[in-house]
Amino acid sequence: DQQVKQNSPSLSVQEGRISILNCDYTNSMFDYFLWYKKYPAEGPTFLISISSIKDKNEDGRFTVFLNKSAKHLSLHIVPSQPGDSAVYFCAVGRSNDYKLSFGAGTTVTVRA
Amino acid sequence: DTAVSQTPKYLVTQMGNDKSIKCEQNLGHDTMYWYKQDSKKFLKIMFSYNNKELIINETVPNRFSPKSPDKAHLNLHINSLELGDSAVYFCASSQVKAGAYYGYTFGSGTRLTVV
């Protein structure tokens, strides 16, 4: 029973353009949301997060948007760079819990 | 200086063997985790320890036994290995409860192959 879904397994984008990654979750009790980036043969690294009291959080080229009513979040990368080519995982959790639930990941390829 | 280090990075072993994976964090975090990434690429939590106390124990075969000698270490021992145990195992740590805004810090993973 997968609580977090990333329906696009892959995304190809041209350098300099916007990358948009999507994530849907099932449980309205989740109240914080994170994105992780993973390169091959490495562990995931924390990228950006947002709590349920916000609908947008920005950090440089990365912006996360949260739509609580739709149980949907997205990650925008603008502009996309070759170094952004990686697998991106969406993760969700509850503030009274220790556990994060992860999506299956979206592989982003930035073309030069 | 690696924040969360796992050893070994690769492990190839025969069915029925017993093996251990070690994890150490030098971040001073209170909570440590083991996650399994299966062939479908999902990251699924297995165990979590907070200050050496087991706080999460998901539905995992009892052939898997975590051990936390202190809050900087969380080891995973697997008995009677099966083909289906082949996966990448990630150790992680966090400071605030459930990671909050800071998320987890992951190790680089241990790729276990059972033949």
pLDDT one-digit tens code per residue, A53-97:
999 999 999 999 999 999 999 999 999 999 999 999 999 998 777
Contact flag B99-A93 (C-beta cutoff 8 Å)? yes
Confidence (pLDDT) at A88: 98
Contacts of A101 in chain B (CB under 8 A): 45
Interface probe for A, chosen from B25, B41, B51 (most Cβ of A below 10 Å), is B41
Nearest Cβ partner for A102 among B43, B55, B101: B43
Give me the amino acid identity at B105: T
Lowest mean pLDDT among A89-98, B25-34, B42-51: A89-98
In terms of residues, how long is chain B?
115
Lowest mean pLDDT among A9-18, A42-51, B99-108: B99-108
For B11-17, which contacts have Cβ atoms below 8 Å and span 24 or more sequence positions?
Answer: B11/B110, B11/B111, B11/B112, B11/B113, B12/B113, B12/B115, B13/B81, B13/B112, B13/B113, B13/B114, B13/B115, B14/B81, B14/B114, B14/B115, B15/B81, B15/B82, B15/B83, B15/B114, B15/B115, B16/B80, B16/B81, B17/B80, B17/B81
Is A22's pLDDT higher than 90?
yes
Contacts of A91 in chain B (CB under 8 A): 103
Confidence (pLDDT) at A99: 85
Residues on A contacting B at a C-beta cutoff of 8 Å: 2, 32, 34, 36, 41-46, 49, 51, 87, 89, 91, 93-105
3 state SS of B109: coil
